Structure 1
Amino acid sequence: MTLSPWASTEYQAPSETKTHRRIKRIMGYKIVVVGATGNVGREMLNILDERQFPVDAIEVLASRRSIGTEVSFGDKTLKTKDLDTFDFTGWDMALFAVGSEATKKYAPLAAKAGCVVIDNSSLYRYDPDVPLVVPEVNPEAVLDYSKKNIIANPNCSTAQMVVALKPLHDRARIKRVVVSTYQSVSGAGKDGIDELWDQTKSIYNPVDNKEFNKFTKQIAFNVIPHIDVFMEDGSTKEEWKMVVETKKIIDKDIKVTATCVRVPVFVGHSEAINIEFEDHLDEDEARDILREAPGVMVIDKREDGGYVTPIECVGDFATFISRIRQDSTIDNGLNLWCVSDNLRKGAALNAVQIAETLGQRVLKKG
């Protein structure tokens, strides 16, 4: 059985009375999930249940066209309510899993009503008054939530990378990161998943010919070096996000260059990361550091299959690290392979972890 993060490792329950006191202390959070019918929203509900988040009351919201849609929360079935008319007064936290436009309209309303917003869109990530948080990396940043009553969730490709980088940075200080991503179609939402599925079928059955417009080129049996819009310097916005967010979360002095690629994988982002340090870091020590790092699972055997691929990480909470090895082309360099379920760590899980951190450090009940 998975230990709830709300269960203290120091806590023992020798008596029923003490157990009841503990339960009373941790219960009482009123949670809203906004965008509950989407992939990330549904995953948020799954993870809240799996991690035994102390929920006293929960509401699930969606746009008017999805009102009444049923979603699951543990053994309960919930019906979505209208986001446009919902009153956030009296609710503790709202996990937003909608696009930037809807977030721009509704997040400030929730925040003004006293409900702390944990936002999965890109809208507030670069706002200096909004903390950008990965709990394994910078949990103390949640304390800055009160400036706007909003906490931002990072980009999915950034989230898994910084989990791998931070413990190594603490040991040897990172100067430069070169990363190439291999990002699944679920990062583009349900439409991305549908397009890969339908396109693959149409290749095998040309009669079933559909128009495809989610991606700029064929995604089935192909890779596309283009995610989000192009910027003036030739990089894409996805690549820019990885640069800016890594600096905000870990260290503004880290130099980052990224190439982000969409690949025909349904769920799970992979990254090949090259790291240059200020000090020498031996690959064996790096492996040991990562084995002890929060949120990281090292699977690194130098044999056939001794590494993790995207299909193996689906449904798991961990960020998996493989292929740790020295880079002999520079004085202080390492290479590693990083894989994670983007719908979990890259989105829903990280948002729930932020809620856990906020509850434990700030909004203590009881």
Structure 2
Amino acid sequence: MTEGVSVALLGATTQAGESVRELLEEREFPLAALYFVEHEERAGGKLSFGGKNLAVQDAEKFDFSTVQIAIVVGDRTLAEQYAEVAATEEVVVVDCTGHSCGALDVPLVIPELNPEALANYRRRNIVAAPNSVSVAMLLALKPIHDSVGIKCVTVTACQAVSELGQPGMEELATQATSMFNLKPIESNVFAKQIAFNILPAVEVVDENGYAESERALVQAAQQILGDETIDVSPTLIWGPVFFGHSMSIDLELSGQLDANAAQKLLDVAPGVSVMNGAEPAQMPTAVTEAAGSDLVYVGRIRQPISGGERLSLWLVTDNVRRGVALNGVQIAEILVKEHLESGN
């Protein structure tokens, strides 16, 4: 659609919103108009885009009939309150907050892996994006599953505090400063001190010991890999890092695949960069490689010492830019190119 489409960005003032704005401009998204939308308490200011300062509008007063696509990031309550409102106006909502995940009539999409799922976007005019851990993990696992099959995934993901936006980042910074100045530590965003600490759960866990985001990861893995029999055992934790998730992943495979063969698969996987050197300095980290990047970095690809049809790997990614913003923008790009243009 050469003339462009009108887009509303809900959550525009959040960290994820900032990354979406950057990507829309960098990727020259075909815009006819762009509107920044927020909850009332965050509205009223201005944000720069394309050399102009655009007003941040109140979601409660915004006329969704003026746009064709609404990208929702950051604050889950924005999706809870306005996704259906926009969808009833025939706006295609790209929900990157996690609110719409799990709905059977809403396609769950990672553009590099299952763009065909977007064919069903008109069921409710809503498209869901998986959480940032799921996006990164599945970009690495899909080529392996397609090659030999995966029986079981055990993943421990250390999440960056920016997953909770500016409040999470400010709490880490404030606590670190307080520690250096020998002042008392206050925890308002996280359950316990996050500075120089690891927290064993990212949310309240259910009677079986799993958090909602961990269950969402299981559902996303089975749905996008197309195999409900895959056993996924996730542990999501908090680490004192501003940007970039880090994951240790162990796989039980359905067939033989050695480390060299796995690396060859990942070398050509979309959105993946392999750093599989033997020296620690040749291995990817959240801070030195992932932060600010659009790629998922994979290293330490190896088989267990005891052998068998198993594989282990290390993975890092920018949770905000790659895990949320880029996924949402890519979904919108496909909608414009392959669906909205034809009027479907």
TM-score (norm 1): 0.90
Q: What does 1:205-224 correspond to in 2, within 5 Å?
A: 205-207=181-183, 209=184, 211-224=186-199
8 Å contact kept, 2:72–2:93: yes
CA distance in 1, matches of 2:198, 2:224: 29
Give the deviation of 1:241 after TM superposition: 1.8
8 Å contact kept, 1:42–1:71: no
CA distance in 2, matches of 1:304, 1:233: 37
Q: Does 1:325 align with 2:302?
A: yes
**Cα deviation digits, residues 285-313 of structure 1 (max 9, x gap):** 11011110111111111123111100121
Give the deviation of 1:98 after TM superposition: 4.5
8 Å contact kept, 1:174–1:278: yes
Q: What does 1:251-330 correspond to in 2, within 5 Å?
A: 251-312=227-288, 313-329=290-306
8 Å contact kept, 2:101–2:216: no
Give the deviation of 1:247 after TM superposition: 1.1
* AA partner of residue 67 (structure 1): A
* AA partner of residue 238 (structure 1): S
Q: Does 1:63 align with 2:44?
A: no
Query: Which secondary structure state, in structure 2, belongs to the residue aligned with residue 286 of structure 1?
Result: helix
CA distance in 1, matches of 2:265, 2:110: 18
Pair 233,76 (structure 1): closer, same or farther in 2 beyond 3 Å: same
For residue 341 of structure 2, what is the aligned residue in structure 1?
A: 364
CA distance in 1, matches of 2:31, 2:132: 26
For residue 52 of structure 1, what is the aligned residue in structure 2?
A: 28
CA distance in 2, matches of 1:62, 1:306: 42
8 Å contact kept, 2:39–2:58: yes
Q: Which moved more, 1:102-111 or 1:325-334?
A: 325-334
CA distance in 2, matches of 1:118, 1:329: 45
For residue 18 of structure 1, what is the aligned residue in structure 2?
A: none
* AA partner of residue 82 (structure 1): D
Give the deviation of 1:324 after TM superposition: 0.7
Q: Does 1:43 align with 2:19?
A: yes
Aligned length: 341
**192, 200, 210: which one pairs with 1:235?**
210
CA distance in 1, matches of 2:104, 2:114: 15
CA distance in 2, matches of 1:26, 1:328: 55
* AA partner of residue 325 (structure 1): R
Pair 364,329 (structure 1): closer, same or farther in 2 beyond 3 Å: farther
Q: Which moved more, 1:148-157 or 1:325-334?
A: 325-334
For residue 9 of structure 2, what is the aligned residue in structure 1?
A: 33
For residue 158 of structure 1, what is the aligned residue in structure 2?
A: 134
**303, 311, 314: which one pairs with 1:337?**
314
Pair 258,342 (structure 1): closer, same or farther in 2 beyond 3 Å: same
* AA partner of residue 308 (structure 2): D
**218, 225, 239: which one pairs with 2:200?**
225
8 Å contact kept, 1:131–1:151: yes
CA distance in 1, matches of 2:97, 2:253: 31
* AA partner of residue 218 (structure 1): Q
**340, 346, 354: which one pairs with 2:323?**
346
Name structure 1 gaps, 5 residues minimum.
1-24
Query: Which secondary structure state, in structure 2, belongs to the residue aligned with residue 259 of structure 1?
Result: strand
Pair 290,65 (structure 1): closer, same or farther in 2 beyond 3 Å: same
**Cα deviation digits, residues 184-237 of structure 1 (max 9, x gap):** 111122111011000000001124x46322111111111001101211101222
Pair 38,308 (structure 1): closer, same or farther in 2 beyond 3 Å: same
* AA partner of residue 29 (structure 2): F
Pair 330,128 (structure 1): closer, same or farther in 2 beyond 3 Å: farther
8 Å contact kept, 1:26–1:365: no
For residue 16 of structure 1, what is the aligned residue in structure 2?
A: none
RMSD: 1.5
CA distance in 2, matches of 1:225, 1:56: 45
* AA partner of residue 292 (structure 2): G
* AA partner of residue 280 (structure 2): D
Pair 90,81 (structure 1): closer, same or farther in 2 beyond 3 Å: closer
Identity between Structure 1 and Structure 2 (%)? 38
* AA partner of residue 204 (structure 2): V
CA distance in 2, matches of 1:74, 1:317: 21
8 Å contact kept, 1:29–1:365: no
Name structure 2 gaps, 5 residues minimum.
none
For residue 153 of structure 2, what is the aligned residue in structure 1?
A: 177
Pair 361,252 (structure 1): closer, same or farther in 2 beyond 3 Å: farther
* AA partner of residue 192 (structure 2): K
CA distance in 2, matches of 1:108, 1:59: 18
CA distance in 1, matches of 2:291, 2:2: 30
* AA partner of residue 35 (structure 2): E
**Cα deviation digits, residues 31-51 of structure 1 (max 9, x gap):** 110111111111111111111
8 Å contact kept, 1:243–1:257: yes
